[in-house]
Amino acid sequence: MLTVIKNVLSYLRTYKLLTALFLLTLLFDLAFLSLAPLSFKFIIDKAVEPRDLGYFFFILKVLIVSGVICLSFGILSDYVLAKLNARVQTELRKRLFEHLQYLNIDFFHKARAGDLISYFSVDLPAVERVMTAMLTTGIQSLTVVLVSTVALFYLQWSMAILILIGAMVIFIGPYLLGRRAHAVNENYINQFSQMTSDIQENMKAQKVIKGYNLQADMIKKFSARLQLLSVSSYQRQVMNYQMERLPLISLLFINLTIIGLGSYLALKGHITIGALIAFFTMYTSMGNSVFNLTFIIPSFTDAQVSMERIAHLLDQPRESNGRFSLSPSDDNRQVDIRVDDVTFGYQDNQPVLQNVSLHISPGTKVAFVGSSGSGKSTLLQLLLGFYDPQLGQVQVNSIKLQDWERGAYRERIGVVFQDNFLFHGSIYDNIRISQPSATREDVVAAAKQAEIHDYISGLPDGYETLVLDEGSNFSGGQRQRIAIARAILRDPPLLLLDEATSALDPISESSINRTFEEIAKDRTVVSVTHRLSSITSYDQIFVFDQGKLLDHGSHQQMLANGGFYKSLWEKQSGLSLSQNGQEATIDEERLSRLPFFQGIERSVLKEISNLFNTETYGVGQTVIHEGEPGEKFYLIARGRVEITKSTPDTETGQVRLAVLEDGDHFGEIALLENVPRTATVYALTPCVFLTLQRKVLYYILSRYPEIDAHVRQTLKERRS
């Protein structure tokens, strides 16, 4: 409890003047509440006993005047407390939000979004509640308890029926204020939930925000939101206090009535003075106040937990930040990157990149390729400064990345991810977010370059069309083009592309690749991709496998070198897609590289290649269900799938076996016999498959008994 009180006092320290004003107004309020019983002494001694009606009315006037004065101070104290609360809350919210903007990206991978939101929706309100409870009920009840403890020595109580009637009067005020209070509360809840949505959006957008160094903009926008929330919170609190105050006013009336009526009755000799005093002290009874105090104890418990959580969040490390904003030889458009013997893992002792060294010269186009999970995206994230290497270093323009002021470095970067975040707002704002100083013409020019201008212009609201639910009202390709326009508008010397086209259908993909070719001129481009055909013209290709850099060079050099790149290339070549992406074909050369078709005559392979069908699947669709009979073989012409198997050992009941992509195949046992599928296959991206039915294959092969036997034998061997 002491920690909570200490914390609340520390929050109030920033607002010394307001706090002092509040305490002063509260003092007047309390003075009346506590000292009112003393009036009986005067009434009894100076008015009732000597039966002096004139003096009685004088005391009554003094009581009414001081009552009104104290009531006014009480109302003033409500306003001051509401302001104080709104300020402290705004300050705490801002402090937490600012801190979140600069936390390591790792924090957001580990934390659950809902948990983060609850700092704002649960913890801060708990702090607010305890602050209010402390400054109102806490101080008041404590004072009354102290005073009434002394009074109890003298008093006894009666006239309970009048109290019951008074209690009914107490509810009339809140009833009358009900509708207005409801509206004010509704407005507050609306503002609050909008703020929660903004925060949730912000958390999801951390990559884009960090990539484009948007923290300051985000804080500014959030401050504007807080301003609105602060006003509605202030109104709500004033209303709540009034709702609480109304019964007090009623109580005051009852007090005055009792004092007046009781004294009058006593004056006339109808009741005893002792009964009158006992009745009055009912209102300030210790029991009541003790009840009030016990009522606020849970809020202390809640607040203690919440304050610890908030302190823990504020203790989380921020992104490291250096002091260099310009290198000595900087002309702002040249970005020279050296990765020097870098080892990195998300967890200690589990390196995802091992001893990687490479150089990216200014103005060149380079690609990171390799098998899934080989660390390509991780290296790109190191280049973005999202993580620091555990060993070795990344140097930009001969300066260690950690020594750069992160903002200054990221100002030079344009980044397009596979999934790009679109903020709630217009398309125009979504593009302009990367360059707030851009004019409308600049935005339109960027949209034209990203080949999305015509589409936007054709929408009824054009550039003002609202992006709903993170962009769900646009296709993957349109969202991607908006993100590309965003990157182009920034005109960055360094363009980072992380699987920027893999979520797209083939038509969108090839046209976006042309766009990239266009915008890549005059800048350094680093592209992570698994689609080799899109990077054959790049200056350098770096090939990764299991966290190690295997090879690098131009496409031609690496084909000549042979090795892993050549096998990746061969896996993907020989597969073609029609313009509309609906028809895939495979040539005999590629077929002959499938293990069970090796050594078969080209003419037969040509016939087999014509037997393949094309099947397309959308993201998340199941291609094969575990346990279902299998009669088809699949070859991925384009796309990425996940292979999972059911197991009782994991929470989800599934274990991931592999991720396969362009050129990979699965389900070959189905070509041998009709056995149940041993795993489930999901499409991770839009997929185009070439499929071959067992029955169709053997119908053709029945004409070539030798080949038929060879294929069956190879499949049998591969199965065992």
Ligand X SMILES: Nc1ncnc2c1ncn2[C@@H]1O[C@H](COP(=O)(O)OP(=O)(O)OP(=O)(O)O)[C@@H](O)[C@H]1O
**Separation between Cα atoms, residue 632 and residue 681, nearest integer Å:** 13
Residue 171 interacts with ligand X (CB under 6 A): yes or no? no
**Separation between Cα atoms, residue 551 and residue 549, nearest integer Å:** 6
DSSP SS3 for 661? strand
Tokens of 163: 């109290």
Residue 378 interacts with ligand X (CB under 6 A): yes or no? yes
Site string for ligand X, 650-679 (x = CB under 6 A): ---------x--------------------
Residue 352 interacts with ligand X (CB under 6 A): yes or no? yes
Specify the stretch interacting with ligand X by CB under 6 A; choose among 245-253, 295-303, 373-381, 515-523. Answer: 373-381
- Give the footprint of ligand X on residues 107-126 (CB under 6 A): 109
Residue 336 or residue 499: which is nearer to ligand X going by CB?
Answer: 499
Residue 531 interacts with ligand X (CB under 6 A): yes or no? no
Task: Candidates 83, 93, 376, 555: give the one binding ligand X (CB under 6 A).
Answer: 376
Closest CA to 238 of 81, 70, 68, 74: 81
Residue 543 and residue 551 in contact, taking contact as beta carbons nearer than 8 Å: yes
Site string for ligand X, 317-346 (x = CB under 6 A): -----------------------------x
CA 252 to chain centre: 49
Burial class (CB in 10 A: 0-12, 13-18, 19+), 437: exposed
Residue 181 or residue 550: which is nearer to ligand X going by CB?
Answer: 550
Residue 399: what are its φ and ψ, rounded to 5°? -120, 135
Residue 210 or residue 530: which is nearer to ligand X going by CB?
Answer: 530
Residue 138 interacts with ligand X (CB under 6 A): yes or no? no
Q: How far is the CB of 369 from ligand X (least distance, A)?
A: 9
Burial class (CB in 10 A: 0-12, 13-18, 19+), 487: buried
Residue 227 and residue 143 in contact, taking contact as beta carbons nearer than 8 Å: no
Q: How far is the CB of 544 from ligand X (least distance, A)?
A: 6
Residue 299 interacts with ligand X (CB under 6 A): yes or no? no
Residue 514 and residue 484 in contact, taking contact as beta carbons nearer than 8 Å: no
Residue 370 or residue 389: which is nearer to ligand X going by CB?
Answer: 370
Residue in the block written with tokens 């402290």: 88
Residue 385 interacts with ligand X (CB under 6 A): yes or no? no
Residue 426 or residue 546: which is nearer to ligand X going by CB?
Answer: 546
Specify the stretch interacting with ligand X by CB under 6 A; choose among 249-257, 314-322, 334-342, 367-375. Answer: 367-375
Residue 492 and residue 436 in contact, taking contact as beta carbons nearer than 8 Å: no
Residue 454 and residue 485 in contact, taking contact as beta carbons nearer than 8 Å: no
Task: Candidates 83, 207, 432, 530: give the one binding ligand X (CB under 6 A).
Answer: 530
Task: Candidates 67, 373, 425, 553: give the one binding ligand X (CB under 6 A).
Answer: 373
Q: How far is the CB of 566 from ligand X (least distance, A)?
A: 19
Tokens of 389: 């290497």
For residue 415, the cross-strand partners are: 496
Q: How far is the CB of 346 from ligand X (least distance, A)?
A: 3
Residue 582: what are its φ and ψ, rounded to 5°? -95, -15
The one-letter amino acid code at 184 reads V
Residue in the block written with tokens 């131009």: 554
Number of residues lying near ligand X (CB under 6 A): 14
Residue 109 or residue 716: which is nearer to ligand X going by CB?
Answer: 109
Q: How far is the CB of 662 from ligand X (least distance, A)?
A: 11
**Separation between Cα atoms, residue 147 and residue 40, nearest integer Å:** 15
Residue 399 and residue 410 in contact, taking contact as beta carbons nearer than 8 Å: no
Residue 125 or residue 373: which is nearer to ligand X going by CB?
Answer: 373
Residue 174 or residue 345: which is nearer to ligand X going by CB?
Answer: 345
Residue 244 or residue 545: which is nearer to ligand X going by CB?
Answer: 545
Residue 546 interacts with ligand X (CB under 6 A): yes or no? no
For residue 549, the cross-strand partners are: 544
DSSP SS3 for 149? helix
Which residues would be at the binding site for ligand X (CB under 6 A)?
109, 346, 352, 370, 372-378, 528, 530, 659
